[in-house]
Amino acid sequence: MQRKVTALPRSIAGIALGGAMLVRFLTPQIGDAQTKSAQSENSSASQRSVAAMSPYIDVHTHLDESDVGGSMQSAIDSMLAENLAKIVFMPSPFTLADANRFDVERLLPAAKKYPGKIALLGGGGTLNPMITEAARTGDVGPDVQKKFRERAEAVLAAGAVGFGEMAAEHFPSSTPYEYAPPDHPLFLLLADIAAERDVPVSIHMEAVPKDMDLPAPLKSPPNPPRLHANIAAFERLLSHNPRAKIVWAHLAWDNTGYRTPELMRWLLQAHPNLFMEIKLDPVDTGLTSPLTNGASGKIKPDWLKLFTDFQDRFFIGSDQHYPQGSGPQRWQAVVLLFNEFPAALRQKIGTENAIQIYHLK
């Protein structure tokens, strides 16, 4: 599906940027990508965990659905070592074909045992499959939209504090490759519902500012050989309902090379309802890490300025899975970045923003 990168007068595609600036946005930043051997060396440099210098709330985590209670207890047991104040669990962005998909109802009984410590997002196991299926079939008629709204309202009525994890461009991991344009009618409807109820929507989306070949080292299959441009469509989602709080997951873990501080600055300036979760993967650091050595080192000046200039728009969202497996942990990687922040910035990004936007108590 060919997507045209022009539309909104305030969008990246709609404003006449200087040639040099446009090249910066549309040129993937790959100079800081680490080799696998370097990543492994950085990750294994120390086996001892380092706690966050300030308390933080992790707004993006997952668990073992076959042992929900044990997974949550594992997270609670890890809080002291991490200096983790609260944690938000969510289902993965499943498809209809996934026999193991689940949603917030599976998580609620165990979460109720930890009031004030654990909160939940929902919709990844039901709303996301409805979106990907509608994108596949083209069916977004009144009946589909009615069922979608009813399910979204049921997710919130069950106790979710927002919607997630949704997927617009998701490379295979625990779920298969997924694609739905971020301005799909059901995404727009979800934004309207989120605005009505004042809850956030967490969306997983790789940054693809133009139609492009699948970047190395990703393989096709299981990924498609070509990727659809999605930034202009994402801006249409953001502009559709400015009261909808859209949270773009996994900032600092970039698989296309285009999720640069320059592009993020542009989007944050243009869209006050855009928020972002920060993630670092210590094994696969991606292409635009804010740290000098991928998963370790000092924070780069352009990233620190971005976090400082828009300090009310970021959260910690580690994508940590509980119980923790062996090897380097994602929470530790993002904490090393978090510890590079000045104290006031840590307080803002660590706890204050999440409490306000997710209405955590």
Cα–Cα dist 205/170, whole Å:
6
In the block, which residue shows the tokens 């592009």? 263
Tokens of 151: 């399910």
Angstrom CA distances, 139 to 4, 136, 282, stand at 22, 8, 40
Is 37 within the bounds of a domain? no
DSSP annotation of 311 reads: G
Position 25 in a domain: no
Q: Domain count of the chain?
A: 1
What CATH number corresponds to the domain at position 262? 3.20.20.140
* Residue 158, domain member (yes or no): yes
Asked, for residue 159, whether it belongs to a domain, the answer is yes
**Is residue 100 assigned to a domain?**
yes
The boundaries of the domain holding residue 144 are 53-357
Sign of CA dihedral 170, 26, 17, 311: positive
Indicate whether 280 belongs to any domain.
yes
pLDDT in tens, the chain (361 residues): 333 333 333 444 443 344 444 445 566 654 444 433 334 444 343 468 999 999 999 999 999 999 999 999 999 999 999 999 999 999 999 999 998 999 999 999 999 999 999 999 999 999 999 999 999 999 999 999 999 999 999 999 999 999 999 999 999 887 889 999 999 999 999 999 999 999 999 999 999 999 999 998 899 999 999 999 999 999 999 999 999 999 999 999 999 999 999 999 999 999 999 999 999 999 999 899 999 999 899 999 999 999 999 999 999 999 999 999 999 999 999 999 999 999 999 999 999 999 999 999 8
**Cis check: omega of the bond before 221, within 30 degrees of 0:** yes
Q: Is 3 domain-assigned?
A: no
Task: Decide if 45 is inside a domain.
Answer: no
pTM: 0.89
Pairing state between β 56-63 and 320-322: parallel
What is 155-188 written as a DSSP string? HHHHT-SSEEEEEEEE-SSSS--EE--TT-HHHH
Strands 226-227 and 212-213: antiparallel
